[in-house]
Amino acid sequence: MEDIYDKVNADYYKPAPRPTPPAKKCPKCNASFGLSFRSGIPNFCSICGTELNKYYSDLYSSYKKELKNHNTISRKLEMDFERDAKAYAGITDHPKADRCFSLAWEYGHSDGLSSVLDYLDELSELL
Ligand SMILES: [Zn+2]
């Protein structure tokens, strides 16, 4: 089995960057437009008159699709990591494996996945 630390170091479990919402700028004159709570996207650019509402709605719905896809992939990578980490620690079938993993995640996640593995390694000895 490939060493899980190698996979972590190679960013195997790291998702692509989160998509960013589309810029609120007119496609023709590049003027910024605001979003008002009451009226949403303005129908037309106040500078050049270009139609904005549909333009922005289309961009925004493809952004939402990308975001959903991104979240699905991120979640899958997290689940892959959890499965591989439990296997690495030899606790896959242990009744307290989930609790052990979530503690290791809580302690180590802010320092990266290899830190989660370090904690999991130590904590799993208690099982
Ligand atoms: Zn414009």
- In terms of Cα–Cα distance, which of 124, 120, 113, 121 is closest to 5? 113
The predicted structure's pLDDT at residue 1:
46
State the average pLDDT over residues 43-71.
Answer: 94
98 belongs to a structural domain? no
Q: Which of 6-15, 39-48, 73-82, 98-107 has the lowest mean pLDDT?
A: 39-48
125 belongs to a structural domain? no
Cβ(25)–Cβ(32) under 8 Å? yes
Residues 6+ apart with CB under 8 A from 38: none
| Distance of CA 36 from the midpoint of ligand 1 (Å) | 17
Looking at the structure of the chain, the number of domains it has is 1
The predicted structure's pLDDT at residue 109:
95
State the average pLDDT over residues 86-110.
Answer: 97
Instruction: For residue 44, give Cα distances in angstroms to 26, 39, 55, 68, 94.
Output: 9, 12, 10, 29, 61
Q: pLDDT-derived band of residue 64, with 50, 70 and 90 as boundaries?
A: very high
Q: At 6, which amino acid appears?
A: D
The predicted structure's pLDDT at residue 26:
94
47 belongs to a structural domain? yes
100 belongs to a structural domain? no
Residues 6+ apart with CB under 8 A from 95: none
126 belongs to a structural domain? no
Residue 101 confidence (pLDDT) above 70: yes
pTM of full prediction above 0.75: yes
Residue 14 confidence (pLDDT) above 70: yes
| Distance of CA 124 from the midpoint of ligand 1 (Å) | 60
| Distance of CA 19 from the midpoint of ligand 1 (Å) | 25
The predicted structure's pLDDT at residue 37:
62
The predicted structure's pLDDT at residue 33:
85
105 belongs to a structural domain? no
pLDDT greater at residue 4 or residue 41? 4
109 belongs to a structural domain? no
Cβ(33)–Cβ(17) under 8 Å? no
52 belongs to a structural domain? yes
The predicted structure's pLDDT at residue 38:
65
| Environment of ion ligand 1 (residues, CB < 5 A) | 26, 28-29, 31, 45, 47-48, 50
Domain range enclosing 83: 4-90
